[in-house]
Structure formats: structure tokens, C-alpha cells
């Protein structure tokens, strides 16, 4: 048994894969509150990258019976990772990686400034995509139709810039990386989700859940843990909305991956193939699964599905290692693993504590931004990825260890 069990009074146990990694007191209180909900099944599973989050603890896996907690899913619905291995090797990369980073930055809109965003729309609309993959164009057209149908019942959602954010990275800890594995093979990896439209859907239904709780769930340990039960007024619409955002997020990553591949082809004249091995996985989402003989909704907030044989991605911080992993299907973790290293401090604290020189030193050898605006993503603001991986050795096995050589941050 590689986990520690926290027994919660008037609640289910909390099983924590946190040996050798720190856990904030605030995060533990959040976990205990979640464990006290009457809808939670069996136990709460906690990954080694656990830290305090808005709504629910990041790095938690919460199984619920006939109910979903919108704030546990959060507002970055479907956020996750995509990675693919190419036939390129380290010696195929140029000595100066600056032009490659510039091409990626031009190909994938990133950051929060509106001027940096392209308008990606279905080809049937004015302002069609710039050379979109045909399959993605069809998938996007279907998503547009589904979103329009959702907006019939929730017209407020029409105010979101959903068309505008398809194919964009965003800011914060979202990134695009060019990496090398142990054998020197070149990988492309990126991290993003459902962007502004996912945020709009999540925020809207979190508010509705809280209003619903005022009438029906008066003994909640935390207002953010308000939930919709099956049969409730908004349950079906929330499931429909969250499913839509998760599909949007997956397609968004695929579209950006194609854009990065295009940038790589512009910079490297040698012909190459991609997707020799590829993974596209969520780490902020909810889906119906069966565990211990019970059908439940499993909410993974900052956690990745790790069924036996299933591939996943666990990124380290900027300047640290990342991992392509294979799940071991550990039932106690609800077949889950961590989604990264996990923060040890807030972004505000990191910016006060570290300097630009610290950032330069910590990202030596990586072609990336090294300025004051990215200090909050400095590796020292995150847990030790090696300790995180050791703590979950019974959840996953490492297939590839990746080291980034180019990193584009929003």
C-alpha cells in the first residue's frame, strides 16, 4: 500500500499518494470537506501533486453517486495535454532554436491579449480558418451546431467568444514544448483546454448549483461544493455543457498540434513523420465510470486517467522533466495519476520571491521567455517532479522521460 489514509469524521476516507511530497493545510481542509458530502462514493483519492484550488482541491479524484459538483470540475473544463513523437532526432534540430520558437509563437496564438488571437470559425462562416485540417473543420462545424442548441436554453452563453478561441493556447501554465526523450527523439507536447467558452459554461453552472444549494443543500461544508443531483432542473443541461466543453478542449489541442507541426516543417527542411506515438488526455473533467461495482461520476480535477495499459502525460515544470506514462489500473486511485508536479506556492508569492536571474538560471538550456512576466512559472514554484513520480509508482510506469528544449508560454 503506497498511500496514506486520512479518516474523516462524518465522511468517507481520503486516500493520499503523497509520501515524500508536501501537502498544504488548506488543501487538506478542502479534501476533508469534500469527503463529508453525502454523494461521495467509497473514498476520495489524492494525487501527489495535490494543492489548494478554487472550488475543489487540485490533484483530487472525487467519485459521486447520481450527482456532479460543477466547481470540482472547475472552469477550465477539459484542460489537458497532447503529445506526439516524431521521426526527428536531436541532431536534426537547428543549433539556434530561437527561430523555431518564433515560428511556434506565430502559429499558435497565446497569452491573454485579444490582439494575439486569430478568429477560428467553421468554413461555412465568414472568416474561415487558415488551412484547417478537413476532419477538424467538420468536427468544429458539429460543435458550433451543438453550442447553438445549448444557447437556446442558456442565451447568456452566447456572449462568450467561443469561435474566437479555437486553436489558441491561453496563458498561465498553458504551454507548447519541443522535447527530447532519452534516445534523442523529438516530441511535440502542449497543454491547454476549453478556453473562454469552457470558462463561461463552468462559471454559469457553478452559479446555478450554488443557487440550487441554497434551497436544497443547507448543510454543505463549503458553498463551492454545491452539486446537481440526477433529476434536478439543471443536471442534464450541465452534463450536456460539460461534455461539449470537453470535446472542444480535445479538438483545440489537436488543431494546435497541427499548427505546431506546420511551424516545425517551416524551420526544419528535412522530411519527417509525426504521431508515431500520440496521447491526448484531459486532466480537468468528469465522466461516468464503474468502480467497485458501482456506477459513479468520476471528477478528476488535476488528475489523469491511468487505466491498465493506458498512456498518459505528466509534465514537470518549466525547465524540468516530463513523462509519458502507462497506467497500472490501481483501483484505489480510481485508475488515476497526477497531472503534473503541482504548485508549492501562489503565483503572487513566486513573483515576490524570485528574480529574472533566478528564472534565467532555472531554465538554462531551454529556448523560452526569461522575463518578469513568467517568473510565476519558475520551476522552484512547483514540487519536485521526481518526488511526485516516486510517490505514485504504484499508479503508473514511466515509458518515456522528456526534457524540453523549446518552451512557449502564454
Domain ranges of the chain: 4-344+382-409
What integer is the mean pLDDT of 41-53? 96
Catalytic residue among 120, 163, 191, 339: 339
pLDDT of residue 161: 62
pLDDT by residue (tens digit) across 374-390? 888 888 888 899 999 99
Instruction: Give CB contacts under 8 A, 24+ apart, made by 11-14.
Output: 11/35, 11/36, 11/37, 11/40, 12/40, 12/41, 12/42, 12/43, 12/44, 13/43, 13/44, 14/43, 14/44, 14/46
Fold exhibited by the domain 4-344+382-409:
tRNA-splicing ligase RtcB (3.90.1860)
Q: pLDDT band at residue 37, thresholds of 50, 70 and 90? A: very high
In whole angstroms, what is the distance from residue 124 CA to residue 210 CA?
38
> Is 214 in contact with 290 (CB distance < 8 Å)?
no
pLDDT at 123 over 70: no
Q: What number of other Cβ atoms are within 10 A of residue 185's Cβ?
A: 18
Taking each helix axis from N to C end, the angle separating 98-107 and 235-267, rounded to the nearest 10 degrees, works out to 140
Name 159's Cβ contacts closer than 8 Å, sequence gap at least 6.
200
pLDDT of residue 125: 35
pLDDT of residue 116: 41
In whole angstroms, what is the distance from residue 83 CA to residue 278 CA?
6
In whole angstroms, what is the distance from residue 288 CA to residue 296 CA?
6
In whole angstroms, what is the distance from residue 45 CA to residue 375 CA?
31
Mean pLDDT across the chain: 89
pLDDT by residue (tens digit) across 54-108? 888 999 999 999 999 999 999 999 999 999 999 999 999 999 999 999 999 999 9
pLDDT at 113 over 50: no
pLDDT at 226 over 90: yes
pLDDT at 361 over 50: yes
pLDDT at 339 over 50: yes
Task: Answer with the residue of higher pLDDT: 342 or 312.
Answer: 312
pLDDT of residue 217: 67
What integer is the mean pLDDT of 371-375? 87
pTM for the whole thing? 0.91
Say what percent of the chain tops pLDDT 90.
66
43 is catalytic: no
> Is 12 in contact with 43 (CB distance < 8 Å)?
yes
> Is 107 in contact with 260 (CB distance < 8 Å)?
yes
pLDDT of residue 99: 95
In whole angstroms, what is the distance from residue 256 CA to residue 49 CA?
26
3-state SS of the chain is CCCEEECCCCCCCEEECCCCCCCCHHHHHHHHHHHCCCCECCCEEEEEEEECCCCCCEEEEEEECCEECHHHHCCCCCCEEEEEEEEEEHHHCCCCCHHHHHHHHHHCCCCCCHHHCCCCCCCCCCCCCCCCCHHHHHHHHHHHHHHHHHHHHCHHHHHCCHHHHCCCCCCCCCEEEEEECCCCEEEEEEEECCHHHHHHHHHHHHHHHHHHHHHHCCCCCCHHHCCEECCCCCHHHHHHHHHHHHHHHHHHHHHHHHHHHHHHHHHCCCCCCCCCCEEEEECEEEEEEEECCEEEEEEEECEEECCCCCEEEECCCCCCEEEEEEECCCHHHCCEEECCCCECCCHHHHHHHCCHHHHHHHCCCCECCCCHHHHHHCHHHECCHHHHHHHCCCCEEEEEEEEEEEEEEC
Amino acid at each position: 500500500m503506497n498511500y496514506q489514509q486520512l479518516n474523516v469524521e462524518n465522511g468517507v476516507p481520503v486516500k493520499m499518494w503523497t509520501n515524500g511530497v508536501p501537502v498544504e493545510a488548506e488543501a487538506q481542509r478542502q479534501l476533508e470537506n469534500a469527503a463529508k458530502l453525502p454523494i461521495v462514493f467509497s473514498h476520495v483519492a489524492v494525487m501527489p501533486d495535490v494543492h489548494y484550488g478554487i472550488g475543489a482541491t487540485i490533484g483530487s479524484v472525487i467519485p459521486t453517486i447520481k450527482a456532479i459538483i460543477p466547481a470540482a470540475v472547475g472552469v477550465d473544463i477539459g484542460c489537458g495535454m497532447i503529445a506526439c513523437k516524431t521521426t526527428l532526432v536531436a541532431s536534426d534540430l537547428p543549433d539556434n532554436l530561437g527561430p523555431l520558437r518564433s515560428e511556434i509563437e506565430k502559429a499558435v496564438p497565446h497569452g491573454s491579449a485579444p490582439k494575439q488571437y486569430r478568429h477560428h470559425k467553421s468554413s461555412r462562416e465568414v472568416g474561415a480558418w487558415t488551412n484547417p485540417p478537413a476532419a477538424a473543420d467538420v468536427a468544429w462545424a458539429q460543435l458550433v451546431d451543438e453550442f447553438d442548441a445549448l444557447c437556446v436554453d442558456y442565451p447568456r452563453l452566447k456572449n462568450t467568444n467561443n469561435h474566437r478561441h479555437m486553436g489558441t493556447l491561453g496563458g498561465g501554465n498553458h504551454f507548447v514544448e519541443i522535447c527530447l526523450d532519452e534516445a534523442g527523439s523529438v516530441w511535440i507536447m502542449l497543454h491547454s483546454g476549453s478556453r473562454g467558452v469552457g470558462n463561461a459554461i463552468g462559471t454559469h453552472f457553478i452559479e446555478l448549483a450554488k443557487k440550487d444549494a441554497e434551497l436544497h443543500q443547507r448543510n454543505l461544508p463549503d458553498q463551492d461544493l454545491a452539486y446537481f443531483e440526477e433529476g434536478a432542473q439543471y443536471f442534464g443541461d450541465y452534463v450536456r455543457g460539460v461534455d461539449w466543453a470537453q470535446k472542444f478542449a480535445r479538438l483545440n489541442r489537436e488543431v494546435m498540434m497541427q499548427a505546431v507541426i506546420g511551424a516545425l516543417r517551416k524551420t526544419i527542411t528535412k522530411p519527417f513523420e509525426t504521431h508515431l506515438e500520440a496521447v491526448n488526455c484531459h486532466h480537468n473533467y468528469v465522466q461516468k465510470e464503474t468502480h467497485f461495482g458501482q456506477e459513479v461520476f468520476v471528477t478528476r480535477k488535476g488528475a489523469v486517467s491511468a487505466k491498465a495499459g493506458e498512456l498518459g502525460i505528466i509534465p514537470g515544470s518549466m525547465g524540468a522533466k516530463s513523462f509519458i506514462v502507462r497506467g497500472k489500473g490501481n483501483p484505489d486511485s480510481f485508475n488515476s495519476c497526477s497531472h503534473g508536479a503541482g504548485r508549492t506556492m501562489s503565483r503572487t508569492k513566486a513573483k515576490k520571491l524570485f528574480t529574472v536571474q533566478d528564472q534565467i538560471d532555472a531554465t538554462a538550456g531551454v529556448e523560452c521567455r526569461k522575463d518578469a512576466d513568467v517568473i510565476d512559472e519558475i520551476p522552484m514554484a512547483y514540487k519536485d517532479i521526481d518526488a511526485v513520480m516516486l510517490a505514485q509508482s504504484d499508479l503508473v510506469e514511466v515509458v518515456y522521460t522528456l526534457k524540453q528544449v523549446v518552451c512557449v508560454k502564454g
